């Protein structure tokens, strides 16, 4: 009998430690695991390194985690979405480090970390400031830059449906970084709007196989960043 | 393009001109902003399949309110729809499409394009700017052809087509062709080369507003 | 209007040229695109480099292509399945070159080729004969070997269902190498037992998006290697 | 193991002994041949999830004739079934599981295991052999723990546990523990270390059939 369910987001994030590296799924609000992030804010871990494509908007979710000054560094491709003020303020004040990575390189570095590929050569960013200080090498007639896999201690992602073995399906463009991030952490935590028994999902359509998932939390009606922001919410 | 610019092509006219150059069945990634207009000007009888790098192939136009889904968005984080034959996928797969050369065309905006095809479109390098790159560097490194769609000059009246970019690069020697309000210009081994002038625009008018020489002998060949 | 259907396997493989590199899907008989392979035998191209996990069994499918001496080199992880006699005979006679690649490295090299990753470092095969002559490098405290992406001129794969845009679903463990091979060739040709209109498949469950597929051939009742072999078949 | 070997553990007894050491909920890859017997000896109350590298997690036993599907097979190309919670995936994902350290355990056969954990199990290096490796090198490089399950000696009576492998390696310093018909032996920083003897087998009997020293002080700790 295998059952990866945790009773609450609070319990699922309880062991995230100060200084941990945490991957957080989402592209803008699509796929952002807000309830897990809020549980992490409540939990209190600090000095985190966060890997996430954006930095959140308004005063909820990822932006709220940053605003609480729990994050010392973010690895990110696009930290200035419209409606994002928390990160810009912290960044200008020198209160957070930024490692800026092209979006496709970020995706591939996370995939590599999860797949046991320690490093790879890519043509992306050659000749730009984001390749400065990186090793490069010519293959054929083209220059490539060496990029390294990324791994994390924890991953927080949002699924549409998960089963008790940790198999996960996503909703439309909320899928984005979640499948790679699920593979690249020591502990992967999924919040899912629907949780079903193992065997209820078609084995042909599973996007994230359960081997990559450690904890499943049922969050039946997940909040959306845009709705919270329109309502003027802030967390906590 | 401000409303003060009443000469040359309108934004929609540029988009229409770009669309004419895209073959039926092309897989296309449209950058955020003015390039998105291309989707409104697809020539009759052609179908383009739009890729949005956040994980959808077969992106459709903005939704009716009843179909609006905050988790069905494009790379600009705006809500979209999906067309018959669409597919969702993760970021590693999406950028495999881009980096692996599977997309036929990317249409992007620009801060500056150099005569050797260098593109700067992600950062002005200003001290207080928040650096943000998204998928721009991946697109220019991987997509088969990169078109730039832009006003010929900045709002401040500075040329965007230059000998050498002064802003931080997005990629080296990546731009194939430029569509501005004044002209269509190819990037060739000999530098900028005129393909076509907007109605009522003279070559000298364009050259005066371009900070690198434009060759003209290319125009006839390119139009054929 | 986009329609990638070809009327027959014969027409779909007509332009495969002498000396081409051809990826062929399948793990054993599961996923082997027999009808496309037989069409390639009829078509006559020779001096091929084939990328495939195995070498076929009996005297049909991939084994028949080898037996017809159309293949000068095979890139393969396991060329000696039970029931495989054609390859061993050719190999011992010096009539075919073999590049032996660990299965996971083969999969990753094909994926890399399709994803624009020119090369990567992997721990697989370090210290073994299959790493000899390859560049290696220590990351952290572990040695890794440099492996290069593979691309092909053509890919031949078998799907369960395809649509007119080239989106493909597979059947169970017949999926194996097909999704990566689809991405790594200039021209990808799919034979599918069912072909439907674009829009008939759920966008959430598509395994191979149509952008990776160039030609779709409807093969309603594909043959199986084991059934052909039990019947004593040989091709042509 | 031939029927002549009537002393020590039977193949099934070895499999049972291996299974005892696998925690509930483990993700396990069983090599082709004798390791497959482990699946028949899962202790009461435990569930193992079997991975087969050709693209299935949640592999079940051989099918009834009515359920037999030539495209639902294992890495040995034999027909199998799937368990509730199973998932299919491609080879890149399957080996991401392996190489990325997501599998808890691989149980493999061996030609030779060296005292430093080197494993040779893919080729005898014979001149006329057809070289074939499959996923063996990936498994030993990536899976968290690698158990070897083997007869203690070859059919010809040669030791399989050696000071240094003479056959081509599958991987360097990869084996964690060896389960033979005679004993359970750990690979430690000090070489082979006895964990347990099969019923009726003495330490000297095992040592005589092993071409490297076996330390015994380890046994008590390892059993705790």
Residue A186 token pair: 């020591």
Is residue C193 less than 8 Å (CB to CB) from chain D? no
pLDDT at position B3, please?
44
pLDDT at position A1, please?
83
Residue B82 dihedral angles phi and psi, to the nearest 5°: -125, 150
Distance from CA of D89 to the nearest CA of C (A): 7
Q: Which residues of B are catalytic?
A: 53
| B131 closest CB neighbour out of A27, A100, A226 | A100
Q: Do C119 and A144 touch (CB under 8 A)?
A: yes
Does residue D6 lie within any of the structural domains?
A: no
pLDDT at position D126, please?
86
Average pLDDT for C99-125: 98
Average pLDDT for B13-23: 97
Is residue C118 less than 8 Å (CB to CB) from chain B? no
Q: Do B54 and A91 touch (CB under 8 A)?
A: no
| C116 closest CB neighbour out of B57, B82, B142 | B142
Distance from CA of C161 to the nearest CA of A (A): 12
Q: Do A209 and D57 touch (CB under 8 A)?
A: yes
Q: Helix C103-115 vs helix D91-99: angle between axes, to the nearest 10 degrees?
A: 120
Specify the DSSP element, H or E, that contains C226. Answer: helix C225-230
| D171 closest CB neighbour out of C111, C128, C179 | C128
- Return the partners of chain C (3 or more C-beta pairs < 8 Å): A, B, D
Q: Do A183 and D27 touch (CB under 8 A)?
A: no
Does residue D1 lie within any of the structural domains?
A: no
User: Which of C52, C104, C109 to mutate: most D Cβ within 10 Å?
Assistant: C104
Is residue C154 less than 8 Å (CB to CB) from chain D? no
Its domain, for residue B136, covers: 11-223
Average pLDDT of chain D to the nearest whole number? 94
Specify the DSSP element, H or E, that contains C154. Answer: strand C152-163
Does residue B1 lie within any of the structural domains?
A: no
Average pLDDT for B65-80: 95
> Residue A118's closest chain D neighbor by CA?
D100
From chain C, the residues in CB contact with A170 under 8 A are 204
Flag whether pLDDT at B4 surpasses 80: no
In this predicted model, which residue has the larger pLDDT, D128 or B101?
B101
Does residue D38 lie within any of the structural domains?
A: yes
pLDDT at position B127, please?
79
Confidence at D194, pLDDT banded by 50, 70, 90 = very high
Q: Do A211 and D27 touch (CB under 8 A)?
A: yes
CA terminus-to-terminus distance, chain D? 29
Distance from CA of C147 to the nearest CA of B (A): 17
In this predicted model, which residue has the larger pLDDT, A3 or B224?
A3
The pTM of this model reads 0.97
Does residue D119 lie within any of the structural domains?
A: yes
Percent of chain A at pLDDT exceeding 70: 100
Average pLDDT for A158-186: 98
Q: Which residues, listed in sequence order, are joined to residue A166 by a DSSP beta bridge?
A: none
pLDDT at position D221, please?
60
Does residue B2 lie within any of the structural domains?
A: no
User: Which of A2, A163, A164, A179 to mutate: most D Cβ within 10 Å?
Assistant: A2
CATH of domain C5-119+152-219: 3.40.1080.10
Does residue B171 lie within any of the structural domains?
A: yes
pLDDT digits (tens, 9 = 90+) for A12-47: 999 999 999 999 999 999 999 999 999 999 999 999
Distance from CA of B198 to the nearest CA of A (A): 33
Distance from CA of A130 to the nearest CA of B (A): 9
Q: Do D90 and C100 touch (CB under 8 A)?
A: no
> Residue D169's closest chain C neighbor by CA?
C128
Burial A156-166 (b: 16+ CB within 10 A, else e): bbbbbbbbbbb
pLDDT at position B124, please?
87
| D96 closest CB neighbour out of A164, A183, A201 | A183
Task: Give me the numbers of helices (H) and strands (E) for chain D, helices first please.
Answer: 5, 13
Q: Which residues, listed in sequence order, are joined to residue A92 by a DSSP beta bridge?
A: none
pLDDT at position B128, please?
81
pLDDT at position B218, please?
67
Is residue A124 less than 8 Å (CB to CB) from chain B? yes
Q: Do A211 and D51 touch (CB under 8 A)?
A: yes
* CA pair distance A205, C38, nearest whole angstrom: 31
User: Which of A112, A113, A115 to mutate: most D Cβ within 10 Å?
Assistant: A115
Helix, strand, coil % (nearest 5) of chain C? 25, 30, 45
ipTM computed for the complex: 0.96
Query: CATH code at D90?
Result: 3.40.1080.10
Q: Which residues, listed in sequence order, are joined to residue C74 by a DSSP beta bridge?
A: C50, C98
Q: Do C173 and D132 touch (CB under 8 A)?
A: no
Confidence at B219, pLDDT banded by 50, 70, 90 = low
Partner D, chain C 197-216, Cβ-Cβ below 8 Å: 207
Flag whether pLDDT at C11 surpasses 80: yes
> Residue C138's closest chain A neighbor by CA?
A118
pLDDT at position B223, please?
54
User: Which of A102, A103, A117 to mutate: most C Cβ within 10 Å?
Assistant: A117
* CA pair distance B54, B78, nearest whole angstrom: 11
> Residue C141's closest chain A neighbor by CA?
A118
Average pLDDT for A39-61: 97
Question: In this structure, are residues B51 and C211 in contact, taking their beta carbons and an 8 Å threshold?
Answer: yes
Domain residue ranges of chain C, discontinuous segments joined by +: 5-119+152-219
| A27 closest CB neighbour out of B54, B88, B169 | B54
* CA pair distance C115, B92, nearest whole angstrom: 9
Average pLDDT for C65-93: 94
* CA pair distance D94, D87, nearest whole angstrom: 11
**How many pairs of residues across C and D have Cβ atoms under 8 Å apart?**
147
**Nearest C-alpha neighbor of D171 from the set B7, C126, C71, B33:** C126
**Nearest C-alpha neighbor of B146 from the set B183, B101, B190:** B101
DSSP state of D57: E
Q: Do A176 and B138 touch (CB under 8 A)?
A: no
Q: Do B91 and A171 touch (CB under 8 A)?
A: no
pLDDT at position D109, please?
97
Average pLDDT for C186-192: 98
- Overall domain count for chain B: 1
pLDDT digits (tens, 9 = 90+) for A104-120: 999 999 999 999 999 99
Average pLDDT for C169-186: 98
Average pLDDT for A74-102: 94
Average pLDDT for B92-104: 98
Q: Do C139 and A117 touch (CB under 8 A)?
A: no
From chain C, the residues in CB contact with D70 under 8 A are 29-30, 224, 226-227
User: Which of C3, C116, C197 to mutate: most B Cβ within 10 Å?
Assistant: C116
Which is the catalytic residue, given D16, D53, D196, D208?
D53
Confidence at D220, pLDDT banded by 50, 70, 90 = low
| A117 closest CB neighbour out of C121, C170, C203 | C121
């Amino acid at each position: 009998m295998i059952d990866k369910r945790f009773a609450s987001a609070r319990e699922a994030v309880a062991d995230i430690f100060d200084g941990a590296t945490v991957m957080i799924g989402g592209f803008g609000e699509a796929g952002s695991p807000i309830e897990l992030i809020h549980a992490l804010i409540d939990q209190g871990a600090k000095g985190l390194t966060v890997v996430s494509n954006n930095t959140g908007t308004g005063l909820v979710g990822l932006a709220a985690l940053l605003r609480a000054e729990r994050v010392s560094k973010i690895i990110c491709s696009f930290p200035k979405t419209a409606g994002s003020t928390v990160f810009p303020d912290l960044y200008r004040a020198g209160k957070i480090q930024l490692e800026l990575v092209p979006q496709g390189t970020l995706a591939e570095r996370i995939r590599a970390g999860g797949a046991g590929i320690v490093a790879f050569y890519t043509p992306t960013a050659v000749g730009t400031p984001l390749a400065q200080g990186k090793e490069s090498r010519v293959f054929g007639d083209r220059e490539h830059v060496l990029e390294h896999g990324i791994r994390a201690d924890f991953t927080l992602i949002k699924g549409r449906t998960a089963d008790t073995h940790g198999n996960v399906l996503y909703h439309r463009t909320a899928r984005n970084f979640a499948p790679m991030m699920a593979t690249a952490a020591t502990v992967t935590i999924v919040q899912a709007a629907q949780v079903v028994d193992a065997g209820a999902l078609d084995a042909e359509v599973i996007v994230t196989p359960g081997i990559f998932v450690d904890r499943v939390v049922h969050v039946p009606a997940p909040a959306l960043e845009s709705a919270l922001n329109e309502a003027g919410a802030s967390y906590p | 393009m401000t409303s003060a610019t009443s000469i040359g092509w309108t934004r929609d006219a540029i988009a229409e001109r770009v669309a004419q150059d895209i073959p039926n069945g092309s897989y296309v990634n449209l950058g955020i902003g003015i390039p998105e207009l291309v989707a409104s000007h697809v020539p009759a009888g052609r179908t383009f399949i739009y890729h949005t790098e956040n994980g959808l192939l077969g992106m459709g136009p903005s939704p009716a309110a009843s179909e609006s889904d905050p988790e069905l968005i494009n790379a600009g984080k705006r809500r979209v729809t999906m067309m018959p034959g669409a597919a969702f996928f993760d970021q590693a797969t999406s950028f495999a499409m881009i980096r692996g050369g599977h997309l036929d065309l990317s249409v992007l905006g620009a801060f500056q394009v150099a005569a050797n095809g260098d593109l700067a479109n992600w950062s002005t390098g200003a001290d207080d700017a928040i650096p943000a790159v998204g998928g721009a560097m991946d697109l220019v490194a991987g997509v088969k052809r990169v078109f730039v769609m832009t006003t010929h000059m900045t709002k401040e009246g500075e040329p965007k087509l230059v000998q050498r970019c002064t802003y931080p690069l997005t990629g080296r020697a990546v731009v194939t062709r430029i569509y501005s309000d004044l002209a269509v210009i190819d990037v060739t081994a000999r530098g900028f080369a005129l393909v076509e002038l907007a109605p009522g625009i003279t070559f000298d008018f364009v050259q005066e507003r371009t900070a690198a020489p434009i060759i003209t002998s290319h125009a006839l060949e390119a139009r054929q």
